[in-house]
């Protein structure tokens, strides 16, 4: 039993060493137009109300909000340490706002973009509709949509914080 535990230590250390710095990003295989229509909805509300609703929805869904940038219209959060979501809020008209969500699933070696229409509908847009008390509409393939934001990682461990601090020191 003890020998098995000793064998597990190098494996765990090897996986930990691969964590953030060498992590591979795997983008969606869907076309940009298809992905944009999956990830974007039009909200019949002003920018401020929509931004507040996006934050509330993410918190209600169990996301730990890790970044809010009102001037850029970006909200980013992490849930269960392996699911990241970023939403971009962009005013189109005084009472019409576009929201684009972008999610990724993270493992120790890769981060993969979510491209399932059902995921975005069930796990973000329907709850956002409930928060706002309004129906959201899809955009057409020719409509303008906000650029997708990549979800910002949450620094969870002391090792990740130290690695980031060290990387920032060497880049200066």
Total-model pTM: 0.74
- The domains of the chain are located at 20-146
Q: For residues 98 and 41, what is the distance between their CA atoms, to the nearest angstrom?
A: 6
Task: Name the β-bridge partners of 105.
Answer: 83, 112
Q: Label residue 118 by pLDDT band (50, 70, 90).
A: very high
Return the structure tokens found at 136.
Answer: 């959201």
| DSSP class of 134 | S
Q: Note the pLDDT tens digit of each residue in 30-53.
A: 999 999 999 999 999 999 999 999
Q: Residue 64: its pLDDT value, please?
A: 93
Q: Residue 170: its pLDDT value, please?
A: 75
Q: For residues 166 and 113, what is the distance between their CA atoms, to the nearest angstrom?
A: 28
Where in 15-157 does DSSP place strands (E)?
Answer: 24-26, 40-43, 64-69, 74-79, 83-93, 96-106, 110-113, 137-138
CATH topology assigned to domain 20-146: TATA-Binding Protein (3.30.310)
Mean pLDDT in residue range 112-133: 96
């Amino acid at each position: 039993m003890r020998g098995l535990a000793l064998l597990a230590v190098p494996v765990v250390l090897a996986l930990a060493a691969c964590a953030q710095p060498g992590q591979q990003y795997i983008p969606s295989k869907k076309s940009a137009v298809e992905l944009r229509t999956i990830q974007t909805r039009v909200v019949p509300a002003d920018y401020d109300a929509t931004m507040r609703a996006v934050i509330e929805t993410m918190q209600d869904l169990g996301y730990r909000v890790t970044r809010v940038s009102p001037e850029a219209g970006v909200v980013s959060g992490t849930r269960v340490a392996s699911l990241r979501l970023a939403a971009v809020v962009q005013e189109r008209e005084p009472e019409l706002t576009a929201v684009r969500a972008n999610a990724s699933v993270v493992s120790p070696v890769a981060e993969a973009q979510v491209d399932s229409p059902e995921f975005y509908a069930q796990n973000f847009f329907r709850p956002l509709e409930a928060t706002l008390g309004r129906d959201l509409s899809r955009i057409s393939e020719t409509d303008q949509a906000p650029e997708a934001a990549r979800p910002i990682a949450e620094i969870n461990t002391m090792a990740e914080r130290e690695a980031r601090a060290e990387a920032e020191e060497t880049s200066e």
